[in-house]
Chain A
Amino acid sequence: MVSQHLQKKRRLAAARAKRRRARFLAPTALAAIGIVAVLILAGNFFRGGEQVTTSDVSQRNGRTLGSPAAPVVISAWEDFQCPVCKAANTQVLDRLIAEYVDTGKVQLQYRYFAFLGPESQWAAEAAEAAAEQGRFWEYHDALYNAQAGENRGAFSRERLKAIAEGLGLDMARFEAAFDSGKYRQVVEEEHQEGLDLGVVGTPTYFVNGTPVQDWRDYSAFKRLIDHALGDHLAAH
């Protein structure tokens, strides 16, 4: 008797629980899906519609240049020892920066593809140590200006420190970071990441993930960026 009574109670409770589940779980799941949909749509909206403030323009945040809210990202895979990279910077990138980065349309991301030898590796590690002090882009420019052949001492460890000193970096902090070798892995991993993305030489540029076929062709480069910006506008 007792067990029959218990079983009946259990059956009733099970039915009640089922009704409870129907009452709460389905609307909760719908609400969760709705929230995520709103988050994704609103995120896309904000990324496109966000006003770029003056302080965002050319903000120097690590190895990126330009607004993090910019709709288009150019990733620049370069090696500091590569003379063609230097040429690309002066002939093409500086113009793109003035036209697209400083106007908040594009964010430029510098990526290490240190493949030309030990001095490439050291230069990238030193640049990372400068980035720690928020001075990456100054150091980047100074490195390109100091180019003098490959692995012939232009970027010896001593020279790299002297370049940092010339820029007035906090030398105790710079040397601690550089000498510890703590950025060695970062640079090596990034090299591997570049290889995985299909980078075979420098400079290699990607516009929102699409490789730029010939960076020397400025109008083609611009078309690719404008196309990416157009896609973005069309999406809104």
Chain B
Amino acid sequence: MPWETTLQRTRLVPGALIALSAAGLAVSAYLSAAHFGGPPLTCGGIGGCDTVNSSRYAYFAGLPVALLGAFLYVTLMALAAAWVIRGWDERLMTAFWGLALAGALYALYLTYVELAIIDAVCVWCVTSALIVSACLGLSSWALLSAERPEAAPVQAPERRRGPAGAGSRQRSRT
């Protein structure tokens, strides 16, 4: 539908989602590397990264939690890239949203563990929590705007033949 075009044709939102996922991937790769003999963590003047990253909560079934984060961000990046390449697909975006929600909830739990149990805060872990929350926020906004036509600018019928973008291809499918 035409009102979807402004949001969905623009590559700004999926581009931002790709950038956020890439930043999240970089952070979790950095934290994962520390588990596999990488450089010692630089902790932004706060300290606590090693305490958190070497605590028993930093492992899930023997795997570093940071590695799970890296997998999550790779998946999010792939889904956001699919938006750019194949066009808006509400199911894929819902999958993105669901994963980001799970990631944000788990990050919330881990932040609670840092504050309440480990008594140390890892600035990189908090950064990752903020990134995944931003992914959740942005994808929520994208999904909700797509469903609230009155919130988007009205497009004149004669302009509907305008530059064919992701949005117009989607229309023919639904």
Contact = CB atoms under 8 A, between A and B. Distances in A.
B3 A193 contact: no
Contacts of B3: 10
A62 B62 contact: no
Query: Is the contact region of chain A dominated by helix, strand, or loop, or is it mixed?
Result: helix
A132 B147 contact: no
A14 B120 CA distance: 48
Nearest to A64: B54
Contacts of B57: 43, 47
A234 B150 CA distance: 55
Given A10-B3, A13-B1, A18-B147, A46 B61 contact: yes
Contact of B56 (A17, A32, A70): A70
A10 B147 contact: no
B54 A109 contact: yes
Interface string B27-61: 00000000000001001011110110011111111
A46 B99 CA distance: 23
Nearest to B58: A68
Interface stretch (A20-28, A94-102, A143-151, A154-162): A20-28
A50 B60 CA distance: 10
Interface string A104-128: 0001010100000000000000001
B54 A190 contact: no
Nearest to A29: B101
A189 B102 contact: no
Given A36-B105, A62-B50, A190-B47, A29 B98 contact: yes
A17 B93 CA distance: 14
B45 A46 contact: no
A137 to B, nearest CB: 15
Contact of B106 (A36, A193, A197): A36
A69 B62 CA distance: 7
B67 interface: no
A9 to B, nearest CB: 8
B94 A28 contact: yes
17 contacts: A17-B149, A21-B143, A25-B94, A28-B94, A28-B97, A28-B98, A32-B99, A32-B105, A46-B60, A50-B62, A62-B50, A68-B54, A73-B56, A75-B51, A109-B51, A128-B40, A209-B118
Interface of A: 2, 6, 9-10, 13-14, 17-18, 20-21, 24-25, 28-29, 31-33, 35-36, 39-40, 42-43, 46-47, 50, 61-64, 68-71, 73, 75, 107, 109, 111, 128, 132, 183, 185-186, 189-190, 192-193, 197, 206, 208-209
A-B interface, 10 closest residue pairs, ranked by CB to CB distance from nearest: A189-B47, A28-B98, A17-B147, A32-B102, A32-B101, A193-B47, A46-B61, A36-B105, A24-B94, A32-B98
